[in-house]
Amino acid sequence: MLYSIRMRSAQGGAHEHGGHHISGAERLITTQDLTTITEKLIQRALTHEKGRADFIRLTIEEVKPKDIITIPMLKMETYTAIDVSDGHKNACEFLANAGISKIAIDNAISSLLSLQENMRGAILIDATTGKRLDNTGMRGIRVSRMDFKDTLQAKKHFDELGYTDNHVQEALVLASKVLSAPNVVGELCWSDDPNYIIGYVSANNIYHRITKMKPLHSNQGGRVFFVKTPVDITVLQNYLERQPVLVDINL
C-alpha cells in the first residue's frame, strides 16, 4: 500500500492567513517509510534556509494501487550558463523550440520576475496567447501525489551521477509528471531558495537543467506550466493535483 504524504510550511501563520511560504514537499511512499519521511519533512520546515516555519501542515492519505499510473522520467541535459541573462536566453530558446509563442515565454519570465511573494504552486499560461489560465491567484497549482517508482534505485542512480541534492531529484519527478499531462507542452522553473540558482526548462521530453537562472541570495522563484488550448482546466488541475504518478527511471 502507498501513502500520499504532503507537507506545506509557512512563517507568520498559515498560508491562508497571510503566512509566507517556506517550503513544501510531496511523496508517495510505503507504510514502512511513513515515519522516517514524516520526520524528515518536519525537519525540512524547521531548518529551511528561508527561515523556521511556525506553521506546518502534514496530510497523509492512502492511495489505491489501481489508481496509480507509471510514467518514464524525462531525459536530463545540462546547459552551463555564463550568467543569468545567458541562462534565461537559452531557457527561452528551449521553450520556443517546443512551439511556445514569444508572448507566452515573455509573460512567463516577467510573471516570475515580478512576484513580490513566494507562491506555493505554479502558474498556468496559455502557450499561444500568453494569458494566465488558472484562477488560483497567489497560491498557484500545487502538483502532488508523485514520486520515484523505486526510491532506493533512484537515489543510487543520482548519487553515482553526483546529484546528491534533493532539489534535482524532486524537480525531475515533478517535471516528468507535469509534462506527462496531455495539454502541457513546457515548464519554466527556478527555485525560491536563496542559495539555489540552478533552474530548468522542460520541453520536448527533455529536462534542460540550466546552471544559472537567478542571482545568488535572491528569494524570487517559481514555476510556470505552458498549456495548449483548448483545455478543460478542471481536468488538467485534477491530473496535476490528484492523479497518483510513479516515475520509473528505467523507462
DSSP string, the chain: -EEEEEEEEEESS-GGGTPEEEEEEEEEEEGGGHHHHHHHHHHHHHS-TT---SEEEEEEEEE-GGG-EEEEPPEEEEE--SSHHHHHHHHHHHHHTTT--HHHHHHHHHHHHT-SS--SSBEEEETTT--B----TTT-B---SEEESSHHHHHHHHHHHT--SHHHHHHHHHHHHHHHSTTEEEEEEE--STT---EEEEETTEEEEES-SS-TT----EEEEEEPSS--HHHHHHHHHH--EEEETT-
- Contact call for residue 226 and ligand WAQ (CB under 6 A): no
Q: Which is nearer to ligand WAQ, 88 or 209 (CB)?
A: 209
Residues 130-189 that bind Mg ion (CB under 5 A): 179, 184
Q: Which is nearer to ligand WAQ, 133 or 198 (CB)?
A: 198
Binding mask 190-219 for ligand WAQ (x = CB under 6 A): -xxx--x-xxx--------x----------
Nearer of residues 149 and 209 to ligand WAQ, judged by Cβ? 209
Residue 184 interacting entry, from ligand WAQ, Mg ion, none, C-beta within 5 to 8 Å by type: Mg ion
Find the binder of ligand WAQ among 22, 168, 203, 247 (CB under 6 A): 168
Quick one: 87 or 222, whose CB is closer to Mg ion?
222
Cβ-based neighbours of 60, under 8 Å, separated by 6 or more = 3, 4, 5, 6, 34, 38
- Minimum CB separation of residue 62 from ligand WAQ in Å reads 20
Q: Decide if residue 26 touches ligand WAQ (CB under 6 A).
A: yes
Picked from ligand WAQ, Mg ion, none, the partner binding residue 74 (CB below 5 to 8 A depending on kind) is: none
Site string for ligand WAQ, 78-117 (x = CB under 6 A): ----------------------------------------
Q: Does residue 174 bind ligand WAQ (CB under 6 A)?
A: yes
Does 248 bind Mg ion (CB under 5 A)? Our answer is no
Least distance from ligand WAQ to the Cβ atom of residue 24, Å:
6
192: contact with Mg ion by CB under 5 A? yes
Among 193, 204, 219, 241, binds Mg ion (CB under 5 A): 193
119 in contact with ligand WAQ (CB under 6 A) = yes
Q: List residues near ligand WAQ by CB under 6 A.
A: 24, 26, 118-122, 140-143, 167-168, 171, 174, 189, 191-193, 196, 198-200, 209, 221-223
Q: List residues near Mg ion by CB under 5 A.
A: 179, 184, 192-193
